[in-house]
């Protein structure tokens, strides 16, 4: 029985396809001859691709903060036929101190970065299992393994996505379903222009929060060294690997930041070995 990666034409489902990495990946898949269902909030953003590729591109309007909309769009996509590759790409970041964030900002951040990918992943697992396999690509971030001031809600979503994905990957390994966490670094996708800032308070203006806020407000394209077209090509190639990696760090900044963070955590853990063992029952 052929696996999805053996098919001449594969069907993709990509969220957040109106710009950035999602658009590059949509265009790359279409250029390679595949079919794509792309979700956006404003369909006009993909009119040029639709003119070029015709009915190989299906555009769906989707607001990821509305679970009912997720069910509706995924259900309609599945009724059209099998989906081989799912890419949970949509995302944004709220910038500011945790104390400054409103409940609505936190809720929307978690719904987009974590709840929606969880719901979409769950919706495709049974169809993929029944068709003999599939690929689910979770667009995480180097922020899924490190943490910086001003991004607490963003990190909560991405760290949660990493844990969810690693757990599910083990649950479905026997069904030829592969999940991969893509961890891009600073990529020139226009992500910075989509940052949503909290209302700044005086208490945080001159500490690490304020300094990070000022850096982000002044950042230009030169600090975003990742090429989204190259990222899209690397992700596409991974979907054809028989045993893709669970995590795919993309960007030298990602590699360096995660390597440093994991080294520090391991060093700190080693100092706690005896304390960890000391809480066991003694007989």
Question: Which residues does the annotation mark as catalytic?
Answer: 140, 154, 158
If residue 234 lies in a helix (H) or strand (E), which one and from where to where? helix 228-238
Integer CA distances (angstroms), 228 to 187, 189, 244, 250, 282, in order: 6, 6, 20, 10, 56
Q: Nearest Cα to 138, choosing from 261, 57, 60, 248?
A: 248
Which residues touch 54 (CB under 8 Å, ≥6 apart)? none
Q: How far apart are CA 71 and CA 77, in angstroms?
A: 10
Which residues touch 86 (CB under 8 Å, ≥6 apart)? 12, 13, 14, 120, 121, 124, 134, 135, 136, 137
Contact assessment for residue 249 and residue 255, using Cβ atoms and an 8 Å cutoff = yes
Burial of 58 (0-12, 13-18, 19+ CB in 10 A): middle
């Amino acid at each position: 029985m052929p696996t999805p990666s053996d098919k001449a034409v594969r069907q993709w489902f990509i969220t957040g396809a109106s710009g950035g990495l999602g658009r590059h990946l949509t265009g790359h898949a279409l250029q390679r001859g595949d079919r794509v269902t792309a979700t956006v909030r404003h369909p006009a953003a993909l009119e040029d691709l639709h003119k070029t590729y015709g009915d190989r591109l299906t555009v769906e309007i989707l607001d990821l903060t509305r679970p009912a909309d997720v069910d509706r769009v995924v259900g309609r996509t599945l009724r059209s036929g099998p989906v081989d590759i799912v890419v949970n790409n949509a995302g944004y970041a709220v910038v500011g101190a945790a104390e400054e964030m409103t409940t609505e900002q936190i809720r929307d951040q978690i719904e987009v970065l974590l709840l929606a990918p969880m719901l979409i992943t769950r919706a495709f697992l049974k169809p993929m299992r029944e068709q003999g396999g599939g690929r689910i690509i979770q667009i995480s971030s180097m922020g899924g393994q490190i943490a910086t001031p001003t991004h607490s809600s963003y990190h909560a979503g991405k760290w949660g996505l990493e844990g969810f994905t690693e757990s599910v990957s083990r649950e479905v390994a026997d069904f030829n379903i592969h999940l991969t966490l893509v961890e891009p670094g600073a990529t020139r996708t226009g992500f910075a222009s989509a940052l949503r800032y909290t209302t700044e308070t005086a208490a945080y203006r001159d500490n690490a929060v304020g300094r990070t806020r000022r850096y982000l407000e002044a950042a230009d394209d030169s600090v975003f060294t990742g090429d989204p077209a190259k990222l899209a090509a690397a992700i596409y190639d991974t979907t054809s690997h028989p045993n893709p990696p669970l995590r795919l760090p993309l960007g030298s900044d990602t590699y360096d930041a995660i390597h440093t963070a994991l080294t520090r955590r391991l060093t700190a853990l080693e100092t706690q070995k005896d304390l960890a063992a000391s809480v066991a029952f003694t007989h």
